[in-house]
Amino acid sequence: MERRGLRPFLKWVGGKRQLLPILRRHYPASPGAYFEPFVGSGAVFFDLAALGRLDARPVTLSDDNADLIGCYARIADSLPAVLTALEHLAAGHGLDARRHYLQVRDCEFNPQRAAWRESGGEIAAYSAGLAAMLIYLNRTGYNGLFRLNATGEYNVPPGRYDRPRIVDRALLTEVSAVLTRPGIRVQRAPFEQILSDARAGDFAYFDPPYAPLSKTANFRGYTGRGFTEADQERLQQVLIQLSQRGVDVLLSNSTAPSVIKLYESSAEARAAGLRAWQVPARRAVNSNAQRRGTVAELVVSNIPPRPQ
C-alpha cells in the first residue's frame, strides 16, 4: 500500500531526500528482505515504505548511533509518551527560544543521557523523554547535526528558525505504524552485521559517512568516532561479498579519490558485478559556505539504473 506522506521525522546530516530520484532508479521491483545499515533519518527506507515496496517484507534498519536507535524504538513502542513530552517542549519554545533550547540541552538532555549511558546505555532503557528531547533538539538545533564533544555531551548549537515544526503528530503516528509492522527490526549495530543476515534476492542500501573530499571537509559527527579509510575499505569488502552472494546492493558516497579507487577503478568490485556512476548532488555540510555548492556524488550498485 502506498503512503505518500511518509518521510523522515528527523533532519540528518547527509540525509538523502535530494538524491532519491537518482537512487530510485536502482530500487529492485520486488526485494526479498530490506536492510539499511546506516539508516540515519531513513530517507530511502521511508521512500521505499511510501511506495509500498516493503509491504509484508522483513526489514532491518540499523545504525551505530544509540540515541538515534533509541528514538526509533520509543516512537515504535511508546508514541503517546513521546508526543506528550514533545508537545511540552514545543510549548516552552516560545519567545526566548534560544534560552529554552540551551536549557533543555544542558540541564535536561545531557544529564539524563549521561545517567542512561552510565547505567549501560541499553536501547530498551532510552526513555520516551530522551527520545522527545532528541526530536526537539534536532528540529530546532543547527542544521540537523548530531555532534558530541570530547566528553560525550551533545553540543549542537541552537539553529535559527523562525517557526520550526517541532511536533508533527500525523507524521510521527504514521512512522510509528510503519515501525511496528511485523517483520521490522530496528537495532544498534555496526554495518558488518549485515553479512550474517542478508541472503540472495534481498536488497541493501548503504549510506556511510562520506569519505572527505579534502582534509578540512572531514565531518566526524553522528557517533563521535568518525569513519576511517579502513572502515571504507571494510565496507567495500562487505558490498563485494553481498554482491557475490546475489544480494542487490546500492551505495552512495562521495567522489573522493579513495572511494573512486574502491569502486570505479577496482577490478575486484567490477568482477563482483558492482558498477559506479557519478551523479550531481548538493552537499550541505561545510563550515565554509562558499564550498557548499553542487558536487558530484558516487552511486554504486549491482542493479543497472532504470530510465525514469
Q: Which residues bind ligand SAM (CB under 6 A)?
A: 12, 14-16, 37-38, 40-43, 63-65, 190-191, 207-209, 222-223, 227
CA dihedral (69, 74, 79, 85) in degrees, to 10, reads -100
Residue placing its CB nearer to ligand SAM in the complex, 116 or 227: 227
83 CB-near residues (< 8 Å, 6+ apart):
132, 167, 169, 172
β-pair type (294-301, 34-36): unpaired
Residue placing its CB nearer to ligand SAM in the complex, 80 or 152: 152
Please identify which residue in the block is written with the cell numbers 555531551: 153
* In the complex, least distance from residue 234 CB atom to ligand SAM, rounded to whole angstroms: 9
Residue placing its CB nearer to ligand SAM in the complex, 16 or 139: 16
Determine what percent of the chain falls in helix, strand and coil, rounding each to the nearest 5.
Answer: 45, 15, 40
* In the complex, least distance from residue 155 CB atom to ligand SAM, rounded to whole angstroms: 16
Residue placing its CB nearer to ligand SAM in the complex, 42 or 159: 42
Please tell me the distance from the alpha carbon of residue 102 to that of residue 297, in angstroms, as a whole number: 35
Q: Which of 81, 88, 34, 62 is nearest to 176 (CA)?
A: 81
CB-based burial of residue 91 (10 Å sphere; 0-12 exposed, 13-18 middle, 19+ buried)? exposed
* In the complex, least distance from residue 11 CB atom to ligand SAM, rounded to whole angstroms: 9
Residue placing its CB nearer to ligand SAM in the complex, 11 or 57: 11
3-state secondary structure of 167: coil
Residue placing its CB nearer to ligand SAM in the complex, 48 or 79: 48
Please tell me the distance from the alpha carbon of residue 131 to that of residue 118, in angstroms, as a whole number: 17
Chain centroid to CA 127: how far?
A: 20
* In the complex, least distance from residue 267 CB atom to ligand SAM, rounded to whole angstroms: 26
* In the complex, least distance from residue 66 CB atom to ligand SAM, rounded to whole angstroms: 9
3-state secondary structure of 144: helix
* In the complex, least distance from residue 4 CB atom to ligand SAM, rounded to whole angstroms: 18
* In the complex, least distance from residue 94 CB atom to ligand SAM, rounded to whole angstroms: 29
Residue placing its CB nearer to ligand SAM in the complex, 53 or 100: 53
